[in-house]
Amino acid sequence: MSHSTSGHAQSTHPGGHGQSRECRLINAYCRLMDRLSIAAAVLAATLLGLGVLAVCHMIFVRYILGASTSWQTEFCVFSISAAMLLGAPYVLLTGGHVAVTALPDILPPLPRFVMNLIASLVGLGFCIALAYGAWRYLLEAWHAGWTTGTVWNPPLWPALLPIALGATLLVTQYLAEIARVRLLPSITDKEAR
């Protein structure tokens, strides 16, 4: 899995003409997931900005006005955590994650492909488990009416929603990254050139 938009396997037919129905469906799914990941990244950037503004507001209220704060700390934790989780699919899409590529870079195409596939499947498995647990926890918090138990005391489910959504989007982005590599011969031929 190349995990970057520039390294995705391309159709051998310009414009996608002559592709099988299966290839067109896979390409449509990958494009949809890419757009969702980009939209989630925009939302993540917005949440990060709101978290920064809340920190600035907290500093102003606490140290300039000398008043106490009630919601800012919790809002910062929720918004910045949400930004991290919702931005993860975009990081996978663009290959922005930290990776040690010393071994894959020296391997021939077939072993590199197998190594990347195994790594992607392990990552996919972890994200599936995370998404399952996050959705169960979110539904439990929703049905039980849990709150944070702090001075502000908002409901807990909005803080848990980005965990579940981010993990689910990460699963779907992993599936798109794995699906992009449809035909092993086309990969090995492309890298041999």
Does residue 168 lie in a domain region?
Answer: yes
> Considering the domain boundaries, does residue 106 fall inside one?
yes
Residue 101: inside a domain: yes
**47 within some domain:** yes
Count Cα neighbours of 144 within 13 Å in the Cβ-side half-sphere.
Answer: 11
pLDDT band at 95 (very low <50, low <70, confident <90, very high): confident
Choose between 153 and 6: higher pLDDT: 153
Q: Considering its fold, how many domains does the chain have in total?
A: 1
Residue 14's pLDDT is 46
108-133: average pLDDT = 92
Structural domain boundaries enclosing 100: 21-192
Surface-to-core class of residue 134, CB atoms within 10 Å of its CB (0-12 exposed, 13-18 middle, 19+ buried) = buried
Give the pLDDT band of residue 61 (cuts 50, 70, 90): very high
How far apart CA 27 and CA 141 sit, in angstroms, is 37
- φ/ψ of residue 131, rounded to 5: -65, -45
What mean pLDDT comes out for the span 120-149? 96
Instruction: Check whether 8 has a pLDDT greater than 90.
Output: no
56-68 burial, b for 16+ CB within 10 Å, e for fewer? eebeeeeeeeeee
Of the two residues 87 and 115, the one the predictor is more confident about is: 87
8 vs 150, which has greater pLDDT? Answer: 150
In a domain, 119, yes or no: yes
pLDDT mean across residues, the chain: 85
Residue 181 and residue 102 in contact, taking contact as beta carbons nearer than 8 Å: no
Query: For residue 104, is pLDDT > 90?
Result: no
Residue type, 149: G
Q: Residue 145 above 90 pLDDT?
A: yes
Tokens of 101: 């590529």
In a domain, 103, yes or no: yes
